[in-house]
Amino acid sequence: MKKLIATIALALPLVFSARAQWIVYDPTMNIEQILDQAENIAKYVQMIDNQVQQIQTLSDQLSEFKNYESLFGNPSQVVLSMVPNLDSDLQSLEPGLNLENLVATANGNIALTFNDDGIYATVGASFQTPGGQTIQRPADQYKPFSAIINSASNYVAVADNAAKRRTAIKNQIAQTTQQLQNATTDAQVQKLQGVLTSLNGDLASTDDELNQAASSAMVQDIQNRNDQQKQVQALTEQQNAEFTEAVSNYAAKFQLLNQPVAFPTQ
């Protein structure tokens, strides 16, 4: 309202100066036009003032966003060097073989010649009798031993792979922890914490792979022991049946005398 009054005050001297030059005019109409024009100018000034306030508000919001960005950071601009190695390790195939594959690749000939670099004595594919006869061992009967050898070798391979990976993963965890301590924005902290969680999960997976390999060897050993006891029981039953049959055959062929033997007299 003050702006409207000021505008009218500025416009009135123009009206009075114009009267001296006009010959015919309508004072009422002229004043109304001046008032309308002043009102339009006041509305325009108010509109400009609103726009200035809007611009100031947007400027304040932009400053606040920049302050927010400086504190929390831009997640898209946070690049972590250890992520590609972690992603590659997580997507790689597990080094160990499952029990089905270990049993399927069992070979009796390998069991006959295996000595684990000289730790064990080699059985050999054949042997000689005291009389000099060469006897070939049935390789198929040695497949259970080959399955155990495969399981043990698989465990050693998995353990070696796990040891190397654990060293690499621990180094990455140490680097991530150091970067987490030096992080300056919330975006860096959030991403580094996510990577740290994944690294710890990857480290735990190496233990799971090692336990799985050990379990495969243990299960195969249990199966071998179970088969050994089964063979012993089957052989015992067979021997008992053969002994009973032999006794029966002997009794039928060699009957005992139930009367005294009569010797001829002279």
Judge whether 82 and 176 are in contact, CB under 8 Å.
yes
Q: Would the pTM count as exceeding 0.75?
A: no
Boundaries of every domain in the chain: 2-72, 75-251
End-to-end CA gap in the chain: 174
How many CB atoms are closer than 10 A to CB 198?
18
Taking the C-alpha atoms of residue 78 and residue 29, their distance in angstroms, rounded to an integer, is 70
pLDDT at 35: 72
pLDDT at 67: 62
CA dihedral 173, 179, 182, 187 (to 10 degrees): -110
Could you give the angle at which helices 186-253 and 27-72 cross, rounded to 10 degrees?
Answer: 40
pLDDT at 64: 67
Mean per-residue pLDDT pooled into runs of 10, the chain (266 residues)? 49 48 59 75 80 79 64 62 78 83 91 88 86 88 91 92 92 90 83 89 91 91 86 85 83 66 61
- Facing residues of 82 across strands? none
pLDDT at 65: 61
